[in-house]
Structure 1
Amino acid sequence: MASQVNSPNSPSNTLPTRSATNSTDADEAVPDEDSSETTKLFHERLQAWKHACAYIEDYVKATEKMHEHNSKEYEKVLKTVNSPLKEGHHFQQQNGGVAGMFENIRSNTQGLANSHTETAKTLKGSVLPTFERLTREIKNKTKELEKGAGKGSKAVQKARNESQKQIELLGSTTGSYDSRGGHLKATEDPYILQRRVYHHLNKQVTEENSNRDDMIAVQNNFQQFETHVLQTIQSGLQQFTQVVGNQAESTRGMYGDMSANAHRIPPHFEWEGFLHSNSNVMIDPHGPKRSVEHISFANQDHSSTKPLIAGSLERRSGMLKQYNTSYYVVTPSRYMHEFKSDDDFSKDPAPETSLFLPDCMIGAVEGVNFNIKGKDASKGALSKVSMSHEFKFKAHTPDDARKWHEVIANISGGTSNSVPSSPVTGNSGSPTAYSPQQTTGSTNSMSPTQTHSTGSTAAEPLYMGGEKGPAGPYDGVSQRDNGAPPL
């Protein structure tokens, strides 16, 4: 079965390059900002419009009450002239005389009272509902914002909190690595924790970009909504002016000026001023989206996160004598981890198996084959009671096999003071070879190990199966394409 990392279209192509991550304009992993800041700003904006409409509603209601009151007052005024003139027989009763004058006064006064009553009814039944409907629209827009963009902001904050948690955990384990001289459990290996950071950062950036798209849509929609709000206000004020203008000619100029002043406001005037005054908060629709390639975080380049050798190997599984290809890494923490692939994004990069090499026995290289006998430590404390197994590996070429064997042997075959106690078994030192019984027809039986160097256990990083990258030579299949250094 071909390894996933052999393909040039491998998901590893999407991983960030170290050169981009180390650039001076690298993004902050967890931005020190409130993801809901823009949502809050829009919420305040809607509140401002709602209050503006409420002011107009109150104004129309007060005007309605005033006309109701004026109607009653004109009824009182009418009573002053409603009784027949005393000694009226002294005046001519036909029209054009003093009696006709008072009849005209009584008729017009009654008309003024009726006019105020009809004006109050028109304001309450026609003008006021226009602004009440607009207020309900603004309230519905607020609920829509809270249920839509508001939830997206909460999802972003949750993802950022998880990323920060993983970064802090990586910082804790790298500190333990430095203080304990690499004495760590497999589950605490900084290499694995760093890959987990990338996994959660990818989720975070996905939520951030999704929320960003939502906020841009809301931002563009707000311009249209505000145009509608302003046009509705203009239409309502024009209707209001016509109603009160028909009632009192003397006040027509005042209300006409109010309506004209409202109509002089351009549809986009408020929106453009809003954008200008809040340019530091509003999102630039033409700006770039966030990407993992431009993110940096604490301990990103810590030495414990860089593998000594990485690439694909074939391992014999079960009694079927069938070899399956997986991605293997030897870390500075002296573990040999097996993964399905080097993809950090599609799922949590938990190792399938983890061998603490100082506790393992390593056989000699036979062509492209070499064997390791040891316990799987990928389950942490549970590995204390697990059985030892013989892991039979096959490299792509004899040269690859020798490189893998050299790195593994340097870790397990150093001097006693350079090999820490096993975090799995607690034993100091480690065997460097074992000689299992020969199996008929087997080409992978262990033979006594060859003599190894007793120098430093920190071997130069090797990457098997790819081009030569900035971190060291490698060929075959690399854990990262495009010459990117290890994560």
Structure 2
Amino acid sequence: MSGDSHALPLRQGTTFSEDAVPEIDPTTTAGLLAERLQAWKHAVVYLEDYVGAVEKVHKAHAKEYERVLKTISHPLKEGAHFDQGLGGVAGFFENMRVNTQAMINSNAETEKTLKGSVLPILERLHKEIKAKHKEVTHGVEKGAKEIDKARNNTQKHIELLGQHTAAFESTGGKMTPNDDPYVIQRGVLHRLNKQVVEENNHRNDLINIQDGFKAFEAHVIQVVQQAMDALNQVAGGQAEKTRALYTDMLGAAQRIPGDFEWKGFINREGHRLVDPNEPPRNVDAIVFPNQDHNSTKPLIEGSLERKSRNKLSWGTQSAYYVVTPSKYLHEFKDDDNLRHDPKPELSIYLPDSVIGAPTGEKFHIKGKDKSKSFSSKLAGTSELNFKAHSAAEAQKWFDAIRIAAGATGPAYESQPPSPDASGPGSSSDAAPKVGKIDTAHKDQDVGITGDKTVSSPTAISPIATRQDTLKDTVASEEKKATVA
């Protein structure tokens, strides 16, 4: 039965899925193709043995032809790779067995010619197949190791994200900057991108190897046909009968289309090969655990300008800032997760910081950098001066930071305290600290949560509220002192 009568099966994806770390072994396709090359090599070895035996037959007469028949009497190794019907490699060898049986009584006198012209053709083909086998096994093996290494790194970071997202729920979101699920999730995307690059490079290598198999196998069959043609010319001149037998074997080889075995192979094993029409993997289409967890969604993010903490420097520098549900203000160089590992260069824990109300486009935060970077160890606690693109945007950042810090958290006043509150004769209870948010402002923050990016609310400025409260308190204390 010809392999052309079978409909080619639909290929299934063998190396790609929507999972972050696929369970598919990247060496599966390469191993299959290497095994196929082994089958071709053994087929050529069959022919080498056959021609070598024919050479001996021409020297040892009829008895030696029985040895020729023995060289091809066994089934082909890796025979499952060949179409067992007529018209293929397996049918070709069966044709050889029948015709060789008829040559048992023939005489051979052309030993040297066979040894010098036919065998070298097959030996060169044998070496070509071995070189192709080495290219497939060694070249692809290196790419598979890189994929395994990249997948292990991705899996470890995904597991780390799972641990800290679980810890976020149990600890109420208080954790170190490096344990912030937002930061870890960006690290997952960074490692996942490296993994996808390795997988796509490995995939392209496999596709190139697969595409070359059709032409290579056609070349193998062409060389086999050339070897059989040379054998026919040398040994066929012995007698008309012998020539007719070798001509029949040559015809059996020439009737094999160059892509006959490959089409049959695709029909049987196509589902295990890489589909070149399948699109490459894309990080945006991959889903991994805790990707959309609330702790990974920023309250607010965008670019701001910040004055350097170095007093000798001038001007401001632009960077990418994020306020996370873990109550951190992180600074990054940019919002790119692919070119480099997105680690914060500055991390301020907002509940432990002093926050100043915005003045136009500017606002201030006084806190300690907890990012454990070299600059954080030198700077310690310092005041950070930010500048937004507009006053409305500065107010949005202030509202988001105040919510993340908590309604009862400290607030920073850039203006000095009132002289009445610090003058002589004032008691400690009559001069409340300006650094705390007042009760009225606290009531405004009841019910505010930090699970979504906030817009700019219309709220009373916290500085104005605290100053009015201070004046009312001082006036009340002076009135009591006058009455007494």
Common fold by TM > 0.5: yes
Distance 1:414 1:184, change over 3 A: same
Structure 1 gaps of 5+ residues are 1-24, 74-114, 416-430, 439-446, 466-471, 473-487
Q: Does the residue aligned with 1:171 lie in a helix, a strand or coil?
A: helix
Match for residue 356 of structure 2? 363
- The answer (yes or no) to whether the contact 1:363–1:434 under 8 Å persists in 2 is yes
- Find the partner of 2:404 among 388, 407, 411: 411
- TM-score normalised over the length of structure 1: 0.72
For the pair 1:185 / 2:176, whether they are aligned, the reply is yes
Determine the C-alpha separation between the residues in 1 that align with 2:50 and 2:198. 45
Aligned to 2:338: 345
Report the Cα distance in structure 2 between the residues aligned to 1:208 and 1:253, rounded to whole angstroms: 54
**In structure 2, what is the Cα distance between the partners aligned to 1:197 and 1:388?**
31
Between the aligned partners of 2:52 and 2:446, the Cα distance in structure 1 is 92
* CA apart distance, 1:463: 6.7
Aligned 8 A contact 2:108 2:235 in 1: no
Structure 2 residue identity aligned to 1:325: S
Structure-2 residue corresponding to 1:220: 211
Residue in structure 2 matching 1:462, options 453, 474, 479: 453
Which residue of structure 2 lines up, in the alignment, with residue 401 of structure 1? 394
Does 2:221 match 1:230? yes
How many pairs were matched up? 380
Deviates more, 1:49-58 or 1:143-152: 143-152
The one of 122, 134, 138 aligned to 2:125: 134
Q: Is this contact kept in 2: 1:363–1:449, CA < 8 A? A: no
Among 297, 303, 307, the residue aligned to 2:294: 303
Match of 1:373 in 2: 366
Supply the distance in 2 between the matched residues of 1:271 and 1:289 (Cα, whole angstroms): 25
- Structure 1 residues 158 and 301: alpha-carbon distance in aligned structure 2, compared to 1, 3 A threshold: same
CA separation in 1, counterparts of 2:148 and 2:214? Answer: 27
Instruction: Find the residue that maps to 1:371 and give its secondary structure.
Output: strand
- Name the CA distance, whole Å, in 1 between partners of 2:207 and 2:323: 45
Give distance in 1, aligned partners of 2:455 and 2:26. 42
Q: Structure 2 counterpart of 1:187, which letter? A: N
Bigger drift between 259-268 and 225-234 goes to 259-268
CA distance in 2, matches of 1:72, 1:261: 25
RMSD over aligned CA atoms reads 3.0
* Residue 306 of structure 2 is aligned to residue 328 of structure 1: no
Instruction: Report the CA distance shift for 1:296/1:72 in structure 2 as closer, same or farther (over 3 A).
Output: closer
Match of 1:245 in 2: 236
TM-score, with length taken from structure 2: 0.72
Residues 62, 360 of structure 1: CA spacing in aligned structure 2 closer, same or farther, 3 A cutoff? same
**Offset at residue 276 of structure 1 (A):** 2.0
- Say which structure, 1 or 2, has more relative contact order (CA 8 Å, 6+ apart): 1
Aligned counterparts of 2:270 and 2:62: Cα–Cα separation in 1: 52
Per-residue CA shift, 1:96-132, capped at 9, x if unaligned? Answer: xxxxxxxxxxxxxxxxxxx967422122211111111
Query: Contact 2:168–2:175 (CA<8 Å) still a contact in 1?
Result: yes
Tell me if structure 2 keeps the 8 A contact 1:231–1:267. yes
Shift of 1:382: 10
CA 52–72 in structure 1, closer or farther in 2 if over 3 Å, else same:
closer
Q: Is the 8 A contact 1:187 1:380 kept in 2?
A: no
- Gap runs ≥5 in structure 2: 1-15, 65-105, 417-433, 458-484
Hey, what's the Cα distance between the residues in 1 that align with 2:302 and 2:60? Answer: 90
Residue 472 (structure 2) aligns with: none
Q: Percent identity?
A: 49
Q: CA deviation at 1:161?
A: 2.0
Change (3 A) 1:51 1:464: farther
Assess if the C-alpha contact under 8 Å between 2:177 and 2:370 holds in 1. yes
| Deviation (angstroms), 1:434 | 3.4
Displacement after TM superposition at 1:248 (Å): 4.2
1:278-297 equivalences in 2 (<5 Å): 278-297=269-288
Q: Contact conserved, 1:310 with 1:463, CA < 8 A, in 2?
A: no
Residues 261, 118 of structure 1: alpha-carbon distance in 2 compared, 3 angstrom cutoff: same
Q: Tell whether 2:425 aligns with 1:434.
A: no
**Counterpart residue identity of residue 250, structure 1:** K
1:147 CA drift (Å)? 3.8
Is it true that 1:390 corresponds to 2:368 in the alignment? no
CA distance in 1: counterparts of 2:336 and 2:169, whole angstroms: 27
Secondary structure class of the residue paired with 1:344 = coil
**Alignment match, 2:256:** 265
Q: Deviations over 1:268-325 (max 9, x none)?
A: 1111112222221222222211111211111111111001111111111132441211
